[in-house]
Amino acid sequence: MTTRAIIASVDAGSPAACAGFQAGDTITFVDGQPVRDILDWQWLTTEDVVDISYVGRDGDEGCVPVERDWAESWGITFEGVLFDGVRTCRNACTFCFMRQLPQGLRSSLYVRDDDFRLSFLQGNFVTLTNLTDEDVRRIITQRISPLRVSLHAVDGAVRTALMGRHAPAGLANLEALLDAGIQVDAQIVLVPGVNDGTVLDETLAWAYERAGIRSVGIVPLGYTAHQDAFCESFDDPREASSVIEQIRPFQERAMAERGIAWAFASDELYLDAYGKAVLDHLPDAAFYGDFPLFEDGIGIVRASVDGFAHAVSTGAALKAADALAKARISAHLVCGFSMKPYLPQLIEASPLAKRLVPLFVRNDFFGGNVDVTGLLAGADMAQAIRNAGEEDALFLLPAVAFNADGVTMDDMTAEDIGALSGRPVQVVPSNPLDCIDHLIKIGEEKRTWRCPSLQ
C-alpha cells in the first residue's frame, strides 16, 4: 500500500523548517525505514539527528539530515495519523452496527475500520483478526499499548458464530500480545442466547486469568430497524438486572484482589434494569476508577450525575438559572430517550427547575433500540423541536450528536436544524459542568442566539 505522510504544516523556526520542509511535502523514509503512520514517525525520530527522505510538493526527491536540540519538537504536523490508509474489518459479525445503517449516508460512515493503530491512538475497539505476524511483532517492539479489543467470547464455536471464520486468529493474536506484556481493555457485546449465560462466565473467567486485560466492559446488543436479524436485547428489567448480578462475583473478586472492579456493566444495563430508580443502584465514582471504558458507555451516567451535583453545590447551576431568568430565556435541552430515567430528576431538584426543560427525542432515523443522545439524527431533532410548540424557547443541541466537522449522522448542521425547525438553536457541551457554564454565557449574551432562519 502506498505510504503518504503528507505534511500539513511546519512550525516557523523549527528544525523541519530550517531543513527546508514545507506544507505539501511528503516524507517517505526516516533513516531508511518507511513511515506508515504517526506511530512510526514517533518511533523513528526519537534521536536528535535523523535522515529524512522526502518527495517535495513540486515533485523533487531527496534525503536530508535534520538535527534538533534535546526534546525539541521537529515542528511537523501531518495530514492525518495513518499514512498508508485505514485497515478495514474482514469479519462477519452478526451484530455489527455498521452493517445496520440505513442507505444513503456519506460513504465514510460505512467504513468498518479494524485498525490496531486507531485502537491505540483513538480508543477504537478492534478484533485483531486481521493482524499479520509482522503486525504482532511491531506492536510488541514499539510497545503499542494499551489496545482496546473486542473479545465477545472465548468459546471457539460461539466466537465463530458471532464473528465469522477469522475469529480464532483474533484470539491467538491476543494471547501472543498479552504474553509479551501488551495491556488490553476488552469489550463484550452481549447477544441474547449466544454469548450470555455460561458463555459469559467462561469468557470473564478466561479474561481474569490474564493480568494484561485491565478491564472488561459488557455492553448489550444494539440494533437498528434497518436489519431483520434482531428484535430484542436486554431491554427487559429482569434480563438486564440478571446480567448485572451475574457480573457481580467477578467485580467482588477483583475488588478484593486487585482493588478495582475490573468488569463493568454498561450504563444501558443499569438504565434498563432500574429505570427511574437507577440513581439508587448506580455505582459511585470510585467503583469506575479512572473510567477506562467511558467512551464505551460505561460510567457516563455516574459522571453526569456527579457533574450536575457539583454544578449545584458550587452555585453554578443557580447562576445559570438566574442568567436565563434575567434574559427571559426558556431553554430546552435536546437529548435521547436513554436520559429520561434520570435527567428530569436532576433538573427538578436543582435551581434550573422550570428554566431548563429536557426535550426527549425518539430516534426514528435508526429505530430499533437505539436511544442514546450521541446517535440522534438532525431530522429527528428538528421534527421534535418543531412539534414542541415553544416558539419563544431556545433549543440546546448536544455537541455529542455532531462530528468534528459539525454535522450529524444524517449530514445536518446546527444551522440546518434551526432552519428546518424554525426555532432558535445552539450547540452546547454534553458535559454537565461545561453545559451549565455555557448556559451562563447564553443568558449573559441574551438574544445573540437567534435562529438562523429568522436572521
| CATH number, residue 26 | 2.30.42.10
What is the band of 446 on the pLDDT scale with cuts at 50, 70, 90? low
232: in domain? yes
442: in domain? yes
Asked if 158 and 195 touch (Cβ cutoff 8 Å), the reply is yes
User: Residues near 152 by Cβ (< 8 Å), separated by ≥ 6?
Assistant: 159, 162, 163, 187, 188, 189, 195, 203
454 or 62, higher pLDDT? 62
Q: Of 1-5, 57-61, 86-90, 403-407, which gets the smallest average pLDDT?
A: 1-5
223: in domain? yes
- Average pLDDT, integer, range 1-18: 91
pLDDT at 452 over 70: no
290: in domain? yes
Collapsing DSSP states into helix, strand and coil, what is residue 364? Answer: coil
Last residue of a domain, which of 51, 78, 105?
78
Are 350 and 286 contained in the same domain?
no
Last residue of a domain, which of 297, 315, 334?
297
167: in domain? yes
Are 106 and 238 contained in the same domain?
yes
Are 318 and 397 contained in the same domain?
yes
Structural domain harbouring 449: 305-454
- Over residues 87-100, the pLDDT tens digits come to 999 999 999 998 89
The cell numbers describing 222, all together, are 444494539
Spatial distance between the Cα atoms of 276 and 83, rounded to a whole number of angstroms: 48
86: in domain? no
Q: What's the CA angle centered on 283, arms 282 and 289, to 5 degrees?
A: 145
Q: Of 56-60, 100-104, 153-157, 383-387, which gets the smallest average pLDDT?
A: 100-104
Last residue of a domain, which of 16, 48, 78?
78
Are 268 and 345 contained in the same domain?
no
The cell numbers describing 138, all together, are 511491531
Are 283 and 205 contained in the same domain?
yes
What CATH number is attached to the domain comprising 162? Answer: 3.20.20
Domains of the chain: total: 3
pLDDT of residue 293: 95
Are 264 and 120 contained in the same domain?
yes
- Over residues 322-369, the pLDDT tens digits come to 999 998 898 999 999 999 999 999 999 999 998 999 999 999 999 999
> How much of the chain is in helix, strand and coil states, percent to nearest 5?
40, 15, 40
Q: Of 1-5, 120-124, 437-441, which gets the smallest average pLDDT?
A: 1-5
Cα–Cα distances in Å, from 255 out to 31, 202, 250, 298, 433?
48, 19, 9, 17, 30
Neighbours of 452 (CB within 10 A): 14
The cell numbers describing 186, all together, are 476488552
What is the band of 444 on the pLDDT scale with cuts at 50, 70, 90? confident
84: in domain? no
Are 223 and 264 contained in the same domain?
yes
Are 164 and 34 contained in the same domain?
no
Q: What is the DSSP string of 83-151?
A: SS-PPBP----TT-GGGGPPTTS-GGGG--B--HHHHHHH---B--TT--HHHHHHHHHTT---EEEE-
Question: What is the distance between the terminal CA atoms of the chain, rounded to a whole angstrom?
Answer: 50
Are 125 and 258 contained in the same domain?
yes
What is the band of 445 on the pLDDT scale with cuts at 50, 70, 90? confident
pTM: 0.91
What is the band of 2 on the pLDDT scale with cuts at 50, 70, 90? low
Are 311 and 380 contained in the same domain?
yes
- Over residues 115-161, the pLDDT tens digits come to 999 999 999 999 999 999 999 999 999 999 999 999 999 999 999 99
- Over residues 218-252, the pLDDT tens digits come to 999 999 999 999 999 999 999 999 999 999 999 99
92: in domain? no
Are 246 and 341 contained in the same domain?
no
Are 286 and 313 contained in the same domain?
no
